[in-house]
Amino acid sequence: MSRILVTGMASGLGAALHQQLKEDGHYLYPDTDIDFGFDVREAGVYSDVQVQELDVLINCAGVNRIDWLADADEADWDDMMNTNAKGIFLMAQEYQARLRESKGTIVNIVSNAAHMPMRCSAAYNASKGAALILTKQLARELSPDITVFSISPNKLAGTGMSDSIDKQVCETRGWTLEEAQKYQLQGLLTGEETPVANLVNFISFLLATKGNHKYLTGCDIPYGA
């Protein structure tokens, strides 16, 4: 049994991960979401009393807002950078001592946005690009005590973030929902969005034993085609 902290555990991929890993027999720290006052943008959000031991930190909290460059809001840029990139930095900094003690693991949920440019997405892509290089930097700095790797999913099916992206694409481009979804599916080799359950099962397998992921340190795994 591992002691695991999943940020952004109240919805979407974070909620699915939290539930599945709990069902797998791991101990999951509760209420690690901004809905419960757990803000990854602030250092020290969880007290020493609450997290005395930690084996796995999964940085899953994220935000996404899209707009044309001319209309992009600076506050949105700051929020995405602070949540998607700085949040990983602060969480790693906060819990590195406990993870060193347990010879633990950090898993960063990045995005395919870290690997490819997208229209109306300068801030989000930049934040995910920062998260990707930060993963590699943390792996270099924290090894061999702590294993650090990332997973970059393609568009996930049925999450709040995916639904929000669809809505924002319609607003920025003046498309119908059907037009927006057709456009996005054209870029996916499978012709469909990635089911959350498939990704969760994959991560669950990787975290079942240290041996399943130890040699991924410093790596990023694209998931979904």
List the 105-109 sheet strands across, edge first. Answer: 27-28, 3-6, 56-59, 105-109, 147-153, 220-223
Output the pLDDT for position 204: 98
CA angle centred on 108, ends 139 and 20, rounded to 5°:
130
Res 99: pLDDT: 98
The pLDDT value given to residue 44:
79
Q: What are the extents of the domains in the chain?
A: 3-155+195-223
Give the C-alpha separation, 149 to 129, whole Å: 14
Per-residue pLDDT of the chain (225 residues; tens, 9 = 90+): 999 999 999 999 999 999 999 999 999 999 999 999 999 999 777 777 789 899 999 999 999 998 888 888 999 999 999 999 999 999 999 999 999 999 999 999 999 989 988 888 899 999 999 999 999 999 999 999 999 999 999 988 878 787 887 787 778 888 888 887 787 777 777 878 889 999 999 999 999 999 999 999 999 999 986
What residue ranges in the chain does DSSP mark as E strands?
3-6, 27-28, 56-59, 105-109, 147-153, 220-223
CATH of 3-155+195-223, one of 1.20.1250.20, 3.20.20.140, 3.40.50.720, 3.90.180.10: 3.40.50.720
Cβ pair 178, 132 in contact under 8 A: no
Per-residue pLDDT, 225: 63
Q: Are 154 and 195 in contact (CB under 8 A)?
A: no
pLDDT of residue 76: 94
Q: Which residue has the tokens 């009393």?
A: 49
